[in-house]
Amino acid sequence: MAQHPATLSQLFIEAVEEHDLPDALQTKVGGVYQPISHRTLADRVRHVAFGLKALGVPAGNRVAILSENRPEWAIADYACLMSGMADVPIYPTLPAEQIAYILRDSGAVAIFVSTKAQAEKIAQVKRELPALQHIIVFDDDAATGGAIRLAALEAKGAALMTSDAATQLRAAALAIKPDQIATIIYTSGTTGEPKGAMLTHGNIASNVSAVIDLLEMTPADSSLSFLPLSHIFERMVDYLMFAAGVSIAYVETMDTIAQNMQEVRPTIVVSVPRIYEKIHDRITDTAMRAGGAKRAIFLWARAVGERWTDVVIAGREPGMLLALEHRIADKLVFVKVRAAVGGRLRFFVSGGAPLSPEINRFFFAAGLKILEGYGLTETSPVIAVNTPKRLTIGTVGAPIPGVEVKIAADGEILTRGPHVMKGYFNHPEATAEVIDADGWFYTGDIGTLQDGLLRITDRKKDIIVTAGGKNIAPQPIENAVKANKFVVQAVMIGDRRKFPLILVVPNFDQLVRWAEHKSISFKDHRDLLANALVKAKMQREVFGELEKFAPFEKPKKVVLLEQDFTIDSGELTPTLKVKRRTVDRKFRALIDAAYTAEESRGGA
């Protein structure tokens, strides 16, 4: 496209009219990925748009979407955008009471629902939602209690879609203004109740336009979509892919990502760091368990990759010996790493949380670039990103075109530009707290801007200030500890305490194998963690990762937890971020006991 679209409705129309490719979307049907063409997608979007009109849902209203990633999600979304409605995405992992809060706060008059299980959540709270008039279900068996099947809605819309009507819909969609609200996305709520960020057509379209020029994508590319479309990161990426003509394939479930990678063989994958951590851990664990020569070769190749990466990232040419060693390491080890992600990958994109530089370096050595970026729901979302042509590990890249960034006196990252949200829905006071009179948005993140590259050091609210007045940024420490193969999760605690401690969820696969090797008997995870030898082992593993940190930054004690954090148990947001306050509150008795025990021993 010579000129980038100013609205998402314009983006959809131009993408369909320009590309008209046979596999705009792909989804698993009968165990096989089946393509959906741009033309079919466009027809279904128009049918749903007319169907909503037939139900009497006027432009300007809010329509919710409660669904896993699937073609119907995109169809419902584009139908709302084309009709001038603001859609309200809801994470399918949320319980009924949290869904009710979002529907009530947004005043949604209709909702698209994927499955019977999701429809049952709505049935539980329907009486609390007088504004909710229409429930449209994707799966036929979810159509109970007056709900409308999507197929029936499409049929209703198809009956109204004459050529004149289609022309009028197109004209109305193109007439939508950039400042019109496209979506209200409720923040994950790591603290307090979630707030609805109002993102306009222009907000998101400006983000797509800026990034599409930085990431060189063509209709020859394919992607695998598995981050929730309810979150702005995956959603903006899907708009980006659609605009570029990239084929988007949806995973079956989060548990089938590895299998779907092999089936789709994507060239571009977007994810949060936790997925890259899992891939890295699985590859490393397989090599370590193989033992003997395979283990030795893997460790040698990893060491070669580290040295090679140091040279290449610094912009130098590897010497003849190092280049030869890397070619051998590639044939013996790294080619298998690339095969594990389908064998065709051009680059990953990472966002949503800090990515460990060590993991990024491992993939880089294996010929897989991870382009780390940074942004928030309120910024549509991208503020900065590394690119294939300029990748600097340890940074989130340069601010994208049209986006301003500056660092406040206290280190907080501020940003201004067309990407900044209109405000929080129904919360003008909260809006005024984060957007000043000059249009600067206060991100709440701490960072530096050097040589045009942005580095994130921590969350402003996460900074730990000990009773002795020491300021500690917990994220670098947590990331260092999580790099250890015996650790799954790590959370620093210590605000207003005499010293910090760290809560650790062990990697029980690794720990159990170690315990069995040491002939340590145990009944369950709790019994295992109570063993003095196991405690000492985990202490050594954790503290072994912290040598580079100052003495006052290091936790004085490791507290082991027997269960991993999950969304359902409340410690993780739907985007897999740890809710630090929830963890602190939930494990308060354990934390207090650990401080009491350490202080009684004279710890300070």
Share of the chain above pLDDT 70, in %: 98
DSSP assigned state of 177: -
Segment 326-352 mean pLDDT: 96
Are 349 and 370 contacting, i.e. CB atoms less than 8 angstroms apart?
yes
Same fold, 8-176 and 271-343+345-460: yes
Residue 468: predicted pLDDT: 72
**438: phi then psi, degrees, rounded to nearest 5:** -95, 5
Quote the pTM value.
0.84
Give the pLDDT of residue 1.
39
Q: Cα separation of 492 and 349, whole Å?
A: 27
Q: Write down the pLDDT at residue 95.
A: 86
pLDDT of residue 574: 77
What local confidence, expressed as pLDDT, does residue 497 receive?
83
Q: Is the pLDDT of residue 604 over 60?
A: no
pLDDT in the model for residue 470: 75
Q: For residue 188, what pLDDT is reported?
A: 64
Amino acid (one-letter) located at 407: I
What DSSP letter does each residue of 4-44 carry, written as one string?
Answer: --SSHHHHHHHHHHHH--TTSEEEEETTEEEEE-HHHHHHH
Structure tokens at 88: 């309200």
Q: Which CATH code for domain 271-343+345-460?
A: 3.40.50.12780
pLDDT digits (tens, 9 = 90+) for 484-528: 999 999 999 988 788 899 999 999 999 999 999 999 999 999 999
- Tens of pLDDT, residues 365-381: 999 999 999 999 999 99
The domain locations on the chain are 8-176, 271-343+345-460, 463-600
Report the distance separating Cα 418 and Cα 199, nearest Å. 10
Q: Which of 10-19, 210-219, 503-512, 561-570 has the lowest mean pLDDT?
A: 561-570
Closest CA to 591 of 576, 580, 575, 578: 580
> Using one digit for the tens of pLDDT, what is the confidence trace for 34-82?
999 999 999 999 999 999 999 999 999 999 999 999 999 999 999 999 9
Mean pLDDT of 458-472: 79
| Strand ranges inside 231-381, DSSP E | 247-250, 268-271, 347-350, 369-375
H/E run at residue 2: none
pLDDT at 190 over 80: no
Q: Which of the four pLDDT bands, split at 50, 70 and 90, describes residue 189?
A: low
pLDDT in the model for residue 579? 84
Closest CA to 344 of 335, 354, 331: 335
What pLDDT does residue 294 have?
Answer: 94
In this structure, whether the domain defined by 8-176 belongs to CATH 3.40.50.12780 is answered with yes
For residue 347, give Cα distances in angstroms to 119, 143, 314, 317, 332. 37, 41, 20, 22, 21
* The Cα angle at residue 460 between residues 454 and 462, in degrees rounded to 5: 120
What phi and psi, each to the nearest 5 degrees, are found at residue 69? -65, 125
Q: Is the pLDDT of residue 444 over 50?
A: yes
Q: Which residues contact 168 (CB under 8 A, 6 or more apart)?
A: none
Q: Phi-psi region for residue 411, left (φ > 0), alpha (ψ -120 to 50) or beta?
A: left
Superfamily holding 463-600: ANL, C-terminal domain (3.30.300.30)
Quickly tell me which residue has 């490719």 as its tokens.
21
- The strands making up 501-506's β-sheet, listed across from edge to edge, are 487-493, 501-506, 558-560
Mean pLDDT for 244-253 is 94
- Can you tell me the mean pLDDT for 425-431? 95
- Cβ distance 464 to 495 under 8 Å? yes
CA pair distance 65, 90, nearest whole angstrom: 6
9 — pLDDT class (breaks 50, 70, 90): very high
Residues belonging to the chain:
604
Q: Name the token pair of 439.
A: 């249009």
Residue 422 has pLDDT above 70, yes or no: yes
Average pLDDT rounded to a whole number, residues 317-340: 97
The yes-or-no verdict on residue 192 having pLDDT over 70 is: no
Residue 296: pLDDT over 50: yes
Location of structure tokens 């990161």: 233
CA distance 555 to 414: 30
Which has the closest alpha carbon to 201: 354, 477, 11?
11
Q: Which of the residue ranges 80-94, 137-151, 589-603 would you say has the lowest mean pLDDT?
A: 589-603
Pairing mode of beta strands 382-385, 398-399? antiparallel
Pull the structure tokens for residue 98: 């949290």
pLDDT of residue 603: 55
Going by C-beta distance under 8 Å and a sequence separation of 6 or more, which residues neighbour residue 239? 8, 11, 204, 208
- Residue 572 has a pLDDT of 85
Q: Residue 336 is encoded by which pair of tokens? A: 């298998």
| Predicted pLDDT of residue 459 | 81
